[in-house]
């Protein structure tokens, strides 16, 4: 008989919440080590776990969770398409958006736009990280295009999506704008800047976590329980 494991939304997000807590504490420890103990390397662990660096463990985690969100959205889109739901394409395009966000988190494509936009528009202060402008514009366009989609969702799911999105954008755009202002005035290599980085990245991670919980709960309620099956049949 095949063995089945039920994938509970609470258990999955509980596990991911523990990972977020560990990564946050590990990153804070690297900055405490750097600015209060004077150890900036610690066998390479500082850059590998600091939230402000790219291509390390926290950025890999965020890329994976964004990819997981894309996969869950694709599953919902497939189910909606089979039932000829009029919003099936909305789910599909959301899956594609999150796939691109996952790729960007891993490769940091958005940072390539900072210097050209900053120089072209002569930006400074809270717009020092100039990618914020196209980022806000894109988020606003998606929100407006998805108003009818949000309206058709169950109220609980709708509010979960909106709260998760607000927290994610508050971290990715709101706190990062503060980082830009501070970095322009005082530079990046200091404790206060690293604190702002932690608020930013934690906001993004927490927003994604809430969104994953909303997706898993929606799947469980409207599509069916999520299960992993393992066959115990022996090959001939």
| SS3 at position 234 | coil
Name the pLDDT band for 235 (thresholds 50, 70, 90).
Answer: low
Identify the domain containing residue 121 by its residue range: 55-224
Number of domains in the chain: 1
Q: Is the pLDDT of residue 51 over 70?
A: yes
Bridge partner residues of 22 (DSSP): none
**For 123-138, what is the mean pLDDT?**
95
Does residue 199 sit within a domain?
yes
Does residue 45 sit within a domain?
no
Name the pLDDT band for 7 (thresholds 50, 70, 90).
Answer: confident
- Nearest-10 crossing angle of helices 57-82, 191-222: 20
CA atoms within 13 A on the CB side of 62: 29
Category of 96 on φ-ψ map: left (φ > 0), alpha (ψ -120 to 50) or beta: alpha
Does residue 136 sit within a domain?
yes
Tokens of 179: 């980082």
Exposed, middle or buried by CB within 10 Å (0-12, 13-18, 19+), for 126? middle
The pLDDT of residue 226: 72
Helix or strand holding residue 95 (H, E):
helix 88-107
More confident site: 224 or 13: 13
Mind listing the pLDDT tens digit for each residue in 200-209? 999 999 999 9
CA distance 82 to 194: 47
Does residue 29 sit within a domain?
no
Does residue 23 sit within a domain?
no
Tokens of 3: 């063995």
The pLDDT of residue 17: 98
Does residue 11 sit within a domain?
no
CA atoms within 13 A on the CB side of 101: 25
| SS3 at position 229 | strand
Does residue 37 sit within a domain?
no
Residue 59 CB neighbour total at 10 angstroms: 17
Residue 140 CB neighbour total at 10 angstroms: 11
**For 43-49, what is the mean pLDDT?**
94
Q: Is the pLDDT of residue 228 over 80?
A: no
Mean pLDDT, all residues of the chain: 93
Does residue 8 sit within a domain?
no
CA distance 44 to 30: 10
Which one, of 1, 7, 2, 3, lies nearest residue 225 by Cα? 7
CA distance 25 to 22: 5
How is the chain split among helix, strand and coil, in percent rounded to 5?
75, 5, 20
The pLDDT of residue 3: 56
């Amino acid at each position: 008989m095949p063995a089945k494991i039920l994938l509970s939304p609470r258990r999955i997000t509980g596990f991911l919440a523990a990972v977020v807590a560990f990564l946050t504490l590990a990153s804070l420890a690297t900055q405490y080590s750097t600015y209060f103990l004077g150890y900036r390397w610690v066998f390479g662990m500082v850059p590998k776990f600091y939230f402000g660096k790219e291509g390390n463990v926290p950025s890999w985690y965020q890329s994976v969770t964004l990819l997981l969100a894309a996969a869950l959205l694709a599953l919902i889109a497939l189910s909606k398409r089979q039932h000829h739901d009029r919003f099936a394409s909305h789910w599909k395009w959301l899956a594609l958006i999150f796939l691109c966000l996952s790729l960007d988190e891993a490769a940091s494509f958005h940072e390539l736009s900072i210097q050209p936009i900053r120089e072209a528009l002569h930006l400074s202060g809270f717009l020092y990280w100039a990618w914020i402008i196209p980022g806000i514009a894109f988020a606003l366009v998606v929100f407006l295009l998805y108003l009818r989609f949000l309206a058709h969702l169950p109220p609980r799911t709708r509010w979960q999506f909106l709260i998760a999105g607000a927290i994610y954008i508050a971290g990715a755009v709101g706190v990062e704008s503060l980082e830009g202002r501070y970095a322009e005035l005082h530079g990046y290599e200091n404790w206060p800047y690293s604190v702002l980085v932690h608020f930013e990245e934690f906001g993004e991670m927490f927003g994604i976590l809430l969104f994953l919980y909303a997706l898993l709960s929606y799947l469980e309620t409207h599509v069916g329980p999520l299960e992993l099956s393992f066959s115990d049949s022996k090959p001939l």
